[in-house]
Amino acid sequence: MASIEVNPSAYHYQVGDISITAVMDGIAIRPIADGFIVNASLDSIKQAMNEALLSPHQIAITFTPVVVRTGRETVLIDTGYGDHGPATAGFLQSNLKIAGIDPTSVTKVVISHFHADHICGLILKNGNVQFPNAEILVPGPEWEFWMDDGEFSRVSGDIKSRFQLVRTVFAPLHDRLTHYNWGQEIVTGLTALEAPGHTPGHTGFAVCSGTERLVLLSDVTNHPALFVRNPDWSVVVDVDPDLARATRYRFLDMISSENLNVAGFHFPFPALGRIAREGDRYRLYPSQWMPLSKV
Ligand SMILES: [Zn+2]
């Protein structure tokens, strides 16, 4: 087998006085026909891929946690797959190194929601904790949903194994966990935004410093060629698709009308851009790659 070269994938930028680093965890390649989108025909999905000049057969879903550095705090938002995901993911630690960020310097890990691509980088399968000095902050409503024994007893199959994974990941971390609420300023300049639907406690974030603002969408939309263009479409893992759709429209409307910078966990790297409204659809305009974090 030919050896695979891994591209270094870290990108620094500024929001006022706050430094952001997008650090890629990797990708998952999904066949288009695997039921990823539950409410669109295969033909219309292929048409969307063709319009974006992407392969109509498969799609690369990217995973991009971000590090938010304020004066005092180094905050990692979401953690990628660790060693729990596909072989094409799990590069967060090596990319943090490339970015010059020591995992022991992370003071807080903030989780947007409890899907595997966001939480599994907290701890390796062998129990090794990956951010040993960090407080771990999770959305209160998300915790209540996944830790509810009644809910757990009613689900089965794939969904049951998702519940089980959440419990396995967090069990050794209980004494370092804190819950946060929507609207709360987690550290100076970083505020949790109510974004439920994808999961019950799913959370976006606003980063504000001086006159500059950035919205972190988390999973309000997945790949922009599909879900920014077609906000009605639902991914198979949306817990409440109708609520997720309402949340998606609310964010897309706010971001496009205020012309805000936006980062999306599943946007192509460095997962940063602006979103414009086009009739009843939207389009992501990726940011230009800059050689310096501030010009
Ligand atoms: Zn995700």
**pLDDT (0 to 100) of residue 279:** 92
Contacts of 49-55 with C-beta under 8 Å, sequence gap 24+, read 49/225, 49/226, 51/225, 51/229, 52/225, 52/229, 54/225
pTM of the model: 0.96
CA of 119 to the centre of ligand 1 (A): 10
Query: Which SS3 state, helix, strand or coil, does residue 62 take?
Result: strand
Judge whether 65 and 121 are in contact, CB under 8 Å.
yes
CA of 185 to the centre of ligand 1 (A): 23
* CA–CA distance, 63 with 252 (Å, rounded to integer): 20
Which amino acid is it at 196?
P
CA of 223 to the centre of ligand 1 (A): 10
CA of 1 to the centre of ligand 1 (A): 30
CA of 203 to the centre of ligand 1 (A): 12
CA of 242 to the centre of ligand 1 (A): 18
pLDDT tens for the chain, residues 1 to 295: 567 788 999 999 999 999 999 999 999 999 998 889 999 999 999 999 999 999 999 999 999 999 999 989 999 999 999 999 999 999 999 999 999 999 999 999 999 999 999 999 999 999 999 999 999 999 999 999 999 999 999 999 989 999 999 999 999 999 999 999 999 999 999 999 999 999 999 999 999 999 999 999 999 999 999 999 999 999 999 999 999 999 999 999 999 999 999 999 999 999 999 999 999 899 999 999 999 888 7
CA of 114 to the centre of ligand 1 (A): 9
Please state whether beta strands 66-69 and 190-194 pair in parallel, antiparallel, or not at all (unpaired): unpaired
Of 237, 187, 268, nearest in space to 9 by CA: 268
**pLDDT (0 to 100) of residue 2:** 62
CA of 122 to the centre of ligand 1 (A): 15
Query: Which SS3 state, helix, strand or coil, does residue 40 take?
Result: coil
Half-sphere exposure of 113 (CA within 13 A, CB side): 25
Q: CA 249, 250, 256, 260: dihedral to nearest 10 degrees? A: -130
* CA–CA distance, 171 with 179 (Å, rounded to integer): 15
CA of 195 to the centre of ligand 1 (A): 13
**What are the backbone dihedrals phi and psi of residue 168, each rounded to the nearest 5 degrees, phi first?**
-65, -45
CA of 278 to the centre of ligand 1 (A): 25
- Per the rule left: phi > 0, alpha: psi between -120 and 50, beta: everything else, 204 is beta
CA of 295 to the centre of ligand 1 (A): 31
